[in-house]
Structure 1
Amino acid sequence: MYGLIGKMLIAPGQRDSVLAILLDGTRDMPGCRSYVVATDPTHADALWITEVWDSQEAHRGSLALPAVQAAIAKARPHITGFGERFETVPVGGHGI
């Protein structure tokens, strides 16, 4: 499996709209076992995205999906940058 945890920085006042865009545009991604978008309790303009995939190739392939491309295009104007990014190798757990 392949895991990814990343922090996304959002323009002030746009966090909830980007959160909705990401949740709506990332359904039905083949090979995705878990996709969690979370707010950061210490930073009002940040989101954390935690992903678990069957493989790194499945993750890369998701970026070409029309729904994912549309979500990226819609959210991009509100994204001001990225913070920490961690790749992981999930080995098990609930919901994966």
Structure 2
Amino acid sequence: MTFVNVGTLGALPGKRDELIALLTRPSTVLTAVGCLAYEVGTDDSEPDTVFVMELWQSAEAHRASLALPEVQSQIAEARPLLSGAFGGFRFDVVGSPLRT
């Protein structure tokens, strides 16, 4: 079952663009473990927030990705840029008008 993780990451003041650059670095490892989409965005009304939408083949694929050395390294690199403010939600996809 397709799994979606949508979240917000609070960046330290002035560090949002650096966090975006880190999150948008090309990664073949995510695709290899079942990531179908990983979109990073901003909203000018929230200058210290990064929005992330992840679409995965399954919740298990998402969990497994977090144990990968490449992902752990990226998380460690991101930590000094984060304010500690996080938000979001997760859900299993039950249907779409775009797919049969």
TM-score, structure 1 normalization:
0.86
| 8 Å CA contact retained: 1:25, 1:70 | no
How many residues get paired?
Answer: 94
Gaps of 5+ in 1: none
State the alpha-carbon separation in 1 of the partners of residues 77 and 62 from structure 2.
20
Distance 1:16 1:27, change over 3 A: farther
**1:47-90, Cα deviation, whole Å (9 max, x unpaired):** 01101101111000111112211111111011112332111223
- Percent identity (aligned): 37
Gaps of 5+ in 2: none
State the alpha-carbon separation in 2 of the partners of residues 8 and 70 from structure 1.
17
Find the structure with the greater CA-based Rg. Answer: 2
1:67 partner letter: E
Q: State the secondary structure of the residue aligned to 1:44.
A: coil
Bigger Cα displacement from structure 2, 4-13 vs 73-82: 73-82
RMSD: 1.8
Which residue of 2 is the match for residue 35 of structure 1?
A: 38
Deviation >6 Å, runs of 4+: none
